[in-house]
Structure 1
Amino acid sequence: MNLALTVLEITAPVFLLAAVGFTWVKVGFEYRIQFVTQLAMTLAVPCLIFTALMKTEADIVALGRLAVAATVSYAAVGMVGWALLAAFGLNLRTYLAPFIFGNTGNLGIPLALFAFGQAGLERAVVLLAVSAVLSFTIGIWLVAGRGAFGKILKEPMIGATLLGALFLWQGWETPTFLTNTLELAGQMAIPMMLITLGVAVARLTPGRVVTAIGLSVVKLVVCALIAWGIASAFALDDTSFGVLVLQISTPVAVTAYLLAEKYGADSESVAGFVVVSTLISIAGLPLLLALLL
């Protein structure tokens, strides 16, 4: 009973805020998703990443081990995903990148924070950075046949990660007034990302729902098992272990739909994958958290 209550306390705020965004759009209120997303990804999330890394008490070597474990996990998920999609005759260009990369930002960071506290947040931003780098390179290449390597250097959250890692390595800290300002800006990130997730899901038009249901269940199980095995193999500490499994297992991100739309893949099928995997995660992620806690 206590475990169930703990899991509910962790997951309920996340999905309730997403539900706020979903309901906001459904009742006809305006939500300028492009502006909010740009504000979050250009200002709020980079501030969150930088301050989390700068103030972390975790060993930089441990964070580096976590980043390597995440990269290996994504590679393993990619190989298993490729084999499964090929076996069932599903289009690799449409489904492989969404199968590999989950919603480590909008959903993963809040869950890691509520489940594992500040230490979880610090590790979650490392996972977000790894996911972003791989998504902008391998992820786009899988969808479009070409990468966007130059775009990585222009992403504020990548710069914030590198700068935060430098401050952590050197033991530097910004002046108190600046740290407080950056932390205040970073506090916008989590509620904005969750509400925007709900808005984005509400606006999608799902396609091939039956296929999406099967893939969503398989993705959750495959990602959780692979991440669990790799976290064990790397002998990660308890918090890093939980964050890795949780982040790798997150549902398909809305950005997967945007990439499919931009590069001419089957965007309606990807939209179905996004919506269904997000809905399945409402039940799946709490069960996974119950195993991790």
Structure 2
Amino acid sequence: MELLLRIAQVIVPVFFIVAVGFVYARRVRPDMTWFNRLVLDVLTPLLVYTALAGKEFRLQDHAPLLLAGALLILGCGALAWVLARGTRVQPRSLVPVVMFNNCGNMGLPLALLAFGPAQLGAAVALFSISNVIHFSLGARITSAEARTRDLLLSPLMISAALGFASAASGVRPPDMLMTGMRLMGDAMLPLMLFALGVRLTTLQPQDVPRGVLGAVARPVIGLLLAVPLAWALDLTGPARAQLILFGALPPAVMQFLLAERYAQEPERVAAMILLGNALAVVFVPLGLAIALPSG
């Protein structure tokens, strides 16, 4: 009973904000273009930098978790390629959906609620590693014509590089500036959940059959790999729990933007991503049940 209450305390606030965005979008049909640009180009880079550059984040303490996260992403990609070949689904459509999870919109707020502010830096570091791989290898998997250089020079990638540099060197802006930057970055967490709710209004009944494979494969393969990886790398406590939650997350919304940019079956990819995020109500509690101690 205590474990169920802890899970509810984590997921109810997250899905409440998603539901508010969903209901609002059904009534108002907002244009999210400027909103998404603000979150992606300003608020998210500030959150990434301040979490990584903060005095409480020590890069060396989280190195095993970052290695595990990278191995989990690559392992999911390898198994997704086998699955794509076996089911005759285009690998360039399925593999990135299974490799990359929604560790931004959903993963960061979940980590904050589940593990507390002291562990948010580790979740942001996983988010940053995921994005580096996504915007390099992931983009190339999506399309052989992807220009990785343009993606890696985005504000998000620059902020991650500066954040890791500050974490390694100890050089950071004055506390007064860091406080302002942190206040702006923290605003991203509920805004991304709200935007996810808005995006879920585009899910249609006909999307379910073509989206179910990627939607289910992402968290199932992630969980199947996360548990043995945590054991093999001797991850314990919050690090083990973070990796398992990371494995249970739904597909990354960002992958739809790449699929649309490179005309790689964007409708099928959108169906996988939207259905996968809807099914998070099943797989996220499962991941938390495995990750959180029952005592």
Q: Deviations over 1:9-36 (max 9, x none)?
A: 1011111111111111101x25332211
Q: Deviations over 1:187-208 (max 9, x none)?
A: 2110110001111121345655
Aligned to 1:141: 140
User: Quick check: 1:11 aligned with 2:11?
Assistant: yes
AA matched with 2:176? F
Change over 3 Å in CA distance of 1:152–1:265 after alignment to 2: closer
TM-score (normalised: structure 2): 0.92
Report the CA distance between 1:101 and its aligned residue.
Answer: 0.8
After superposition, where does 1:1-293 map in structure 2 within 5 Å? 1-27=1-27, 29-205=28-204, 207-293=206-292
Change over 3 Å in CA distance of 1:120–1:270 after alignment to 2: same
TM-score (normalised: structure 1): 0.93
Aligned counterparts of 1:173 and 1:141: Cα–Cα separation in 2: 33
Q: Deviations over 1:138-160 (max 9, x none)?
A: 22222222333212442222222
AA matched with 1:11? I
Are 1:136 and 1:147, in contact at CA under 8 Å, matched by a contact in 2?
no
Task: Output the aligned Cα RMSD.
Answer: 1.8
Between 1:245-254 and 1:179-188, the stretch displaced more is 245-254
Aligned counterparts of 2:52 and 2:162: Cα–Cα separation in 1: 9
SS of equivalent to 1:105: coil
Between 1:134-143 and 1:208-217, the stretch displaced more is 208-217
Aligned counterparts of 1:243 and 1:32: Cα–Cα separation in 2: 34
Aligned counterparts of 2:63 and 2:212: Cα–Cα separation in 1: 35
Are 1:207 and 1:268, in contact at CA under 8 Å, matched by a contact in 2?
no
Aligned counterparts of 2:235 and 2:77: Cα–Cα separation in 1: 22
Q: Deviations over 1:21-56 (max 9, x none)?
A: 1111101x2533221111112211111111112225
Sequence identity percentage: 30
Q: Deviations over 1:116-168 (max 9, x none)?
A: 11233111111111111111122222222233321244222222222222222
SS of equivalent to 2:56: coil
Report the CA distance between 1:211 and its aligned residue.
Answer: 4.3
Aligned counterparts of 1:247 and 1:157: Cα–Cα separation in 2: 19
Aligned counterparts of 2:165 and 2:135: Cα–Cα separation in 1: 22
Are 1:206 and 1:273, in contact at CA under 8 Å, matched by a contact in 2?
no
How many residues get paired? 292
